[in-house]
Amino acid sequence: MKTKIQACIIDDEQDGRDYISLLLQNEFPEIQISFLASSVEEAYIYLSRHSPDILFLDVQLKDGTAFDLLSKFREIRSQIIFITAFENFAIQAIKNGAADYLLKPIRKIDFIVAVHKTLENIAKTKAAISSSSGRNKISLPTLQGFKLTDIDDIIRCEADSSYTTFYLIDKTKILVSKTLHEFEEFLTEHNFFRIHHKHLINLAHLKEYIKGKGGQVVMTDNSVLDVSVRKKNDFLTRVEQMD
């Protein structure tokens, strides 16, 4: 049975939550509402434990803003549709990785377009990290389309909020508007290891480990990266298991 897309609605107005819920029920039966919240605190508790596919996130909440909520996380894996009565939040929403941005009062047609766009983003992400024939390539979405990249050519990946930069052996860099987490599971199957919340490395390109509290690694491109204390033991164990 096909797993439903999970959505969370965060809005401090009951009418707002009810309206979005009704629109989803009528227009997008494939989306299941997993949680409703009215405050930063409620949303933070839920999102600390769960990662819904879509967040419908009101900018102004009763105990803070959407940006206060997002600042509590190193990265948010969900697609975010910001909702607000104030147009001046648009730029800040975009910088926080908005899938789309809706103004109150929400028009039904705008809502439908935004959700369709978000579902397309989710589908593209899944396709980008799905296995290809031979499972030796990965499709990296760009502004111009996508780049089909040999996995063996990736030295490391670096997270920057809702973006990820891929560093390749030919010294090129590819910036992708997806979180590092969205690639982590797939690449881990290809000898990658996440040594830090910012760094996912290809162990085939590991050149040196430098001892320390967490330590550091030197990669074949001579980049020096920190290993988090929390990841250190698992990383060293993984290296010992390499052939």
The answer, yes or no, to whether residue 129 has pLDDT greater than 70, is: no
Burial 88-112 (b: 16+ CB within 10 A, else e): ebeeebeebbbbbbbebebeeeebe
- pLDDT value of position 8: 97
- pLDDT value of position 131: 47
Which pLDDT tens digit goes with each residue over 146-200?
A: 788 999 999 999 998 778 999 999 999 999 988 888 888 889 989 999 999 999 9
pTM (predicted TM-score)? 0.59
Sign of the C-alpha dihedral, residues 99, 104, 109, 110? negative
- Parse the chain into domains and list their residue ranges: 5-128, 133-240
Which pLDDT tens digit goes with each residue over 220-243?
A: 999 999 999 999 999 999 998 875
What CATH code would you report for 133-240? 2.40.50.1020
What CATH code would you report for 5-128? 3.40.50.2300
